[in-house]
Amino acid sequence: MELLEAIVDGMNYWIFIILMMIGLYAMITKNNLVKKLIGMSIFQTAILLFYISLGVKEGATIPILPHYYAHTSQEEQGNLVGSSDQAHAGKEASSATEGGKEKPSVAHAGSPKIDPNRFTNPLPHVLMLTAIVVGVSTLGVALSITQKLYTEFGTIEENEILDQLKSGDD
Amino acid sequence: MIDQAPAIVLLAPFLTAVLVVLVGMKYERACFPLVVLGLCCSAAAAVQTLLQVIEAGTLRYSMGGWPPPFGIEFRIDGLNALVALTVSTVALISAVYSKNRVPEENGDKISIYYTLLLLVVTWLLGMVMTGDAFNLYVLLEVSALTSYALIAMGTRRATVAAFKYAIMGTIGASFYLLGVGYLYIKTGSLNMFDIHEVLVAENLHQSTTVLVAFILITVGVWIKMAFFPLHAWLPNSYAFAPTTTSCLLGPLVTKVMVYVMIRMMLTVFDPLYTYLQLNWGNIVVWMAVIAILAGSLAALAQTDLRRMLAFLIVAEVGYMVGGVWLANTAGLVGAIYHLIADVFMTLCVFLFAGIVFAKTGKRDITATHGLFAKMPLTMAGLVVGALSLIGIPPTAGFFSKWYLIQGGMAAGHWGYVTALLISSLAMAVLFFRVFEYAFFGVKPAEGHGDHHPSGKGKFSEASASMLLPLLGTASLVLLIGIFNQSIVSIITDFVGQFNLTGSIMR
């Protein structure tokens, strides 16, 4: 049971490790160069998955601040929230209008109450955008090398290429 | 303008690369002068940066004005500045060498070749100067991409090697990326110095996550630097690539990765952690011993000149990894000084191999047949480089080995000391074999008609664009050796801040 719990708790880690190992296996054992590259892609994607899962929080939303959070004074905020989301913000709106004059500095400092637990961490996602670009270009370069190999050897099977290299000297 | 020097080191080759690809489409003859101009700017800015660092200590430069840890920061200390200067100098020298070689070997892709050359220099310089762990990953991967392309432009063997390199390089970079991810989980930061501060402040060194991060990063970097059991991609890549590529990448890529390893071990993780808490020094130094011996012995077995030199790189990586993990000041100073000296020695012998290939069209060691008579200046260049690799006094190689052996003795690691000496002997055998061919000619049984050494028509010294870089590198090797004190003092300043005692290990 404990083992099962450990697996379920760290589900994202298990999945990324399994994917990574599948990729590594393909890269090492496959004879076909394109299959090796598919393995490479899986390997890199596993790492993307790992990073993405780092930023996830339960019950959190995408980290986009509504415009009024960041740019309006607290009083207007209260009204806006009140009009849009009555059930939740009704109390808040009334308290905000009551206490609006007492603590306007909080609103003007540009840091209204943002609960970090309500938003996913955007940084790993941004990092992975870069890593995706890098991964795609790696794949592109590797594929074009494969193409060059095909024009030079007439095959993309690794053992046949090695045989040709052994028999012919260049 | 002076304040922007660290950025110019990087931007000069980058912007020139853009210019070269645009201008080169139309005017191929303009490529070479542009490349040299760009790399000259870069080297000059690197000199300026080094002077600033010597004068004012660590230099902090926020890219784009974003304050760290949010923006990407360049924090340049003595180690960075020295390695950056080395990289840009080597790039300049091999660019000069490429003048005739690129049109001859890759005549239809001159502008593209030069663009890639400039880009790889930019990324390597970026890796040396950046202070951001994730930025380092991107540069690591992008520089590798560029070098796959540069290598694949060689013979068809080089294409096979480039594919292998692409696979292994990706695994290495991905391991590094994973390691950075684990560090990020624990510290929430990507700035190297910030990570270090958080690790120390919150006492995270006990954490298993940090241990996993350390292992992943170290293994990733080892793959990239061709540390012995992980070196399979290196020999063929550098042996069969276009000669300019091997002159540029052969000396630089592995050494920049050694720099990354030093930076990670000392600046990001703490020396107390890497040396004292983990206490792997002994094992890693023994691995280095195996790397040194295996590299040297494999080099002895080669008949292809550049392949032999490629295996020497594997041995030299063993020197540096061993020196760093000896965990004392002398070993670390020796490793960093060897890093700089080795770049130039390797460049010297690779330039020689390039010239021999250009002149004779042959890859074998026997191609050096009778060269002392025909190309005395070229051979003089080789002699300096070879003596430095062997470790004969006035050259840089002697002093670096001196420090490394001192470090080995201070740590009481006699295996490492012995391996260094055996490897020196192996290199002596290797290069005296080359000298013998070049001086007395190949034995008639092996070669062809010793009585007509110049039977194929006389060839004389290589053209100035190939000879001058070789002689320049040879004199740099001598100068680095003679003025070793001033370089070592910069390195000692850098190492001194970590308070390694004489021998931390025992």
Name all domains of chain A by residue range, CATH numbers in brackets. Answer: 1-63+117-170 (1.10.287.3510), 66-113 (no CATH)
Dist. CA A24–CA A39, nearest whole Å: 6
- List pLDDT tens digits, range B244-296: 888 899 899 999 999 999 999 888 888 888 787 877 888 889 999 999 999 99
Dist. CA A103–CA A108, nearest whole Å: 9
- List pLDDT tens digits, range B399-452: 899 889 988 888 888 889 999 999 999 999 988 888 888 888 766 554 444 444
- List pLDDT tens digits, range B282-326: 888 999 999 999 999 999 888 888 888 999 999 999 999 999 988
- Binned at pLDDT 50, 70 and 90, residue A6 comes out as confident
DSSP state letters, B435-450 = HHHHHH---TTTSS-T
- Binned at pLDDT 50, 70 and 90, residue A109 comes out as very low
Please report residues of B whose CB lies closer than 8 A to that of A40.
Answer: 166-167, 170
- List pLDDT tens digits, range A130-147: 999 999 999 999 999 999
Touching check for A80 and chain B: CB below 8 Å?
Answer: no
CB contact under 8 A, B142 and A134: yes
CB contact under 8 A, B148 and A145: yes
- Binned at pLDDT 50, 70 and 90, residue A100 comes out as very low
Please report residues of A whose CB lies closer than 8 A to that of B156.
Answer: 149, 152-153, 170
Most confident of the ranges A125-129, B24-28, B496-500: A125-129
> Residue B177: how many CB atoms within 10 A of its CB?
29
**Mean pLDDT over each residue of chain B, to the nearest integer:** 85
CB contact under 8 A, A145 and B174: no
Touching check for A44 and chain B: CB below 8 Å?
Answer: yes
Rg (alpha carbons) of chain A, rounded to whole number: 27
Touching check for A138 and chain B: CB below 8 Å?
Answer: yes
Do the beta carbons of residue A47 and residue A123 sit within 8 Å? no
Provide the pLDDT for residue B177.
92
Dist. CA B65–CA B41, nearest whole Å: 23
Touching check for A43 and chain B: CB below 8 Å?
Answer: yes
Dist. CA B171–CA B103, nearest whole Å: 34
Instruction: Assess whether pLDDT exceeds 90 at residue B124.
Output: yes
Please report residues of A whose CB lies closer than 8 A to that of B145.
Answer: 134, 137-138, 141
Instruction: Assess whether pLDDT exceeds 70 at residue A88.
Output: no
Please report residues of A whose CB lies closer than 8 A to that of B167.
Answer: 27, 36, 40, 142
Nearest to A54 among B152, B170, B185 (CB): B185
* Inter-chain Cβ pairs, chain A and chain B, closer than 8 A: 74
> Residue B67: how many CB atoms within 10 A of its CB?
9
Q: Per the structure block, which two tokens stand in for B266?
A: 């000392």
Please report residues of A whose CB lies closer than 8 A to that of B171.
Answer: 24, 27, 43
- The helix/strand/coil state of B429 is helix
Show me where the domains of chain B are located.
280-506
Min Cα separation A149/chain B (Å): 7
Touching check for A131 and chain B: CB below 8 Å?
Answer: yes
CB contact under 8 A, B178 and A50: yes
Contacts 24+ apart (CB under 8 A), B17-20: B17/B114, B17/B115, B17/B118, B17/B119, B17/B122, B20/B111, B20/B114, B20/B115, B20/B118
Min Cα separation B71/chain A (Å): 12
CB contact under 8 A, A137 and B145: yes
Provide the pLDDT for residue B370.
77
Buried b (16+ CB within 10 A) or exposed e, B127-161: bbbbbbbbbbbbbbbbbbbbbbbbbbbbbbbbbbb
Q: B-side interface with A, Cβ within 8 Å?
A: 134, 137-138, 141-142, 145, 148-149, 152, 155-157, 159-160, 162-163, 166-167, 170-171, 174, 177-178, 181, 184-185, 190
Mutate to test the interface with A, among B160, B175, B216, B236 (most CBs of A within 10 A): B160
